[in-house]
Structure 1
Amino acid sequence: MSEEFITGVRYALTVCAVVAAVANLLVLVVFARTSRLRMKYYGLLINLTLADLFYAVMAIAFTWGESDLLFLIFISGYFVGVWTILAEAVNRYLALTFVDTARYDELVTRNRLVGICALIWVVSFAVEILPAYLAHEDVYHIIEGVVKPLVVFAFWLITAGLYFVVFRKIRRYTIHLATSSPPLQKPTEDHQVRTRLSQIRRLLVTFMLILVTSFVCWMPFSVIQMVQFFHGDLENLEAAYWMSGAIYCLAPLINPFIYWLRLDGFREGWHQMFCGCFEKESSPNIEAENTISETGL
């Protein structure tokens, strides 16, 4: 394809990245200014937002800078997103496995969650930057063109499998609550468990939407990496590379809209901060979020 087409794609990528950066920055402001969202329950969601913001900014820098170092830093943000989505699947699995809230809070503390987020960033930068400087050139090409795309695809499969297992566990718990006789469980405990299951399911659906969006938007880039490794002499490969980058930038742009659609507390915080029209809602979802907030989940 012509250079004019590639230039057009680069401008489209830039526009998409700018809008994504602004949207995710606003999301972070809402989380920072809304007290009910400043809890460990949303910790990994905040980390994903940071990763999306980082990726969008670095996409702009690399598109017009095009240096090897910028590319390495740019792709590091990609792995932060992959690891964070997987970490949230593990976190929800633990939250459901330890039905006793106290046991979950003892295992998954705020400091540990912050440490996990920091570790995700460190590992993501390490796996992208260190091979570029330490590995032999041929080995590095294999890592970039084959190993990493396959690992990313395996991560998606593992994450999807974990979400499936958690949904199955929620279904079994729901059936058990519906069929158990009243004397077996106190009404207060029954309400707390139902509320918790409802909130876990709601956040799981949110991350499932993020997972599907990320898979659709991110996998073309991994496919192009493998095609470039095995068929590096194909015509129009550079144009396909830039197009996959533009498609990738759609994920950080779409995620803030998913937060808006799925998280009542986020919508409340947005209206309270930007619209000045905050009105307290009394829907079951809001009550569920309040219960989770009180328990520290």
Structure 2
Amino acid sequence: MEEILPLRIYQTIVGILGILGNALVCFVILKIPAMQTRINSFIFHQAVIDFLSSMMIFLKSEIKVPDPIPSNALGWFICQVWTPFILFFFFVTSTFNLLALTMERYLAIVHPFKHQAVLAAWPRLKVGVAMTVCWALGFGLNIYAVVLFREENGQCVPNPIHGSNILGVIVAFLEYILPVGVMFFAYIRIGVEMKRGAARVGPAPAAHLPGGANAPDMAKSLLRARRNTFKMLLIVFITFVICWTPNQVIYLMFNLGFRFTLKEWYYYLSIAMVGTNSCVNPFIYALKYRQFRKGLRRIFSRAREQTENFGTEQSLSYNVSN
């Protein structure tokens, strides 16, 4: 990877953008109390995972691996942890968090009564459990990568393991094909249900509620908010599929016996595309997530007011001292 300079530069840029963008997402959600909702807790968790992924992308592009690789604990770490395991551990954890976020929206929109029943008791604990399961799945599906390579004569070489190709196919199915299939089905059902909801929310006698609001207006407002969130998550899902598909196709064909190697430029490019998925979500939130844009504007307006107030105080103190 070190000798492919354009890919190193690209990964460095992706890492920096991912670090800054996801840190901003976390900051906005933490600073704006109105954004601390259930769905935003999953978005915050997604940003934390993508921040760590971007940090690893940046470090892997900037830290030069020793050549030859030493035959000691450092060599073991490089060949069995640093290169094959740690980066995809964060990538796959991010995948399952996106799956959990999608299923939360699926239950809330398609099966609202089940959604309420599931989260009626200890909702924060259950959200925390779901996030913990994401980390456990990311770790469990990638721990096998620790034994795929070994250090030999100063190089990382494949470790011949009986049945590793079958295991690779199973892992590709569990970490990519199955989540994508489930999310694809969920978004279709959400889209159908939202169309039905839009048809139901039509001209009707205004049932006035306390405070001057009426039921149709509140239903339309809820529908608009759900539609905005749905569009944003759909774009996140489509971006995920675009970024992940080349890598998983190459990996799956390699394990099925096709003449692919995991040392060619196209495989490294596919990894860079997976890394791109870790930095692109904050831009999607900024463009398509209305609640995030409002929170961002509120933070910037607060910062501007504090700057203006500080300047006014400095001017007053200067005049008083004179």
Could you tell me whether the CA contact under 8 Å between 1:95 and 1:104 is conserved in 2? no
- With over 3 angstroms needed to count, the CA separation of the structure-2 counterparts of 1:123 and 1:22, relative to structure 1, is same
Aligned to 1:36: 34
1:112 aligns with 2:126: yes
**With structure 1 as the length reference, what TM-score do the two structures score?**
0.79
Q: Percent identity?
A: 18
- With over 3 angstroms needed to count, the CA separation of the structure-2 counterparts of 1:113 and 1:56, relative to structure 1, is same
**With structure 2 as the length reference, what TM-score do the two structures score?**
0.74
Q: How much does 1:130 deviate? A: 5.0
Give 1:69's aligned amino acid: V
Aligned to 2:317: none
Query: How far, CA to CA, are the matches of 2:131 and 2:261 in structure 1?
Result: 40
Aligned to 1:150: 173
Aligned to 1:124: 138
Q: How much does 1:237 deviate? A: 4.8
Matches within 5 A, 1:185-224: 188-224=214-250
Structure having the larger proportion of residues in helix: 1
Q: Secondary structure at the match of 1:138?
A: coil
Aligned to 1:285: none
- Alignment size in residue pairs: 274
Q: How much does 1:211 deviate? A: 0.4
- With over 3 angstroms needed to count, the CA separation of the structure-2 counterparts of 1:255 and 1:74, relative to structure 1, is same
Task: Give per-residue Cα distances to partners, 1:167-218, cap 9 Å, x unaligned.
Answer: 1111112212327x54999774444333323222211111100001111011
Query: How far, CA to CA, are the matches of 2:128 and 2:114 in structure 1?
Result: 22
Give 2:227's aligned amino acid: R
1:176 aligns with 2:200: yes
| Unmatched runs of 5 consecutive residues or more in structure 2 | 66-77, 149-159, 306-322
Could you tell me whether the CA contact under 8 Å between 2:2 and 2:8 is conserved in 1? no
Q: How much does 1:32 deviate? A: 1.1
- With over 3 angstroms needed to count, the CA separation of the structure-2 counterparts of 1:107 and 1:175, relative to structure 1, is farther
Q: How much does 1:50 deviate? A: 1.5
| Unmatched runs of 5 consecutive residues or more in structure 1 | 279-297
Aligned to 1:89: 102
Could you tell me whether the CA contact under 8 Å between 1:72 and 1:128 is conserved in 2? yes
Runs of 4+ in 1 over 4 A off after TM superposition: 99-105, 130-134, 183-187, 230-237
**Bigger relative contact order, structure 1 or 2 (CA pairs below 8 A, ≥6 apart):** 1
For the pair shown, the structure with the greater C-alpha radius of gyration is 2
Give 2:88's aligned amino acid: I
Query: How far, CA to CA, are the matches of 2:244 and 2:177 in structure 1?
Result: 10
Q: Secondary structure at the match of 2:56?
A: helix
Query: How far, CA to CA, are the matches of 2:119 and 2:56 in structure 1?
Result: 35
Aligned to 1:69: 81
Task: Give per-residue Cα distances to partners, 1:117-137, cap 9 Å, x unaligned.
Answer: 122112211221157459x92
Q: CA RMSD in A?
A: 3.2
- With over 3 angstroms needed to count, the CA separation of the structure-2 counterparts of 1:105 and 1:3, relative to structure 1, is closer
Give 2:87's aligned amino acid: F
Could you tell me whether the CA contact under 8 Å between 1:73 and 1:129 is conserved in 2? no
Q: Secondary structure at the match of 2:120?
A: helix
Aligned to 1:161: 185
Query: How far, CA to CA, are the matches of 1:235 and 1:78 in structure 2?
Result: 21
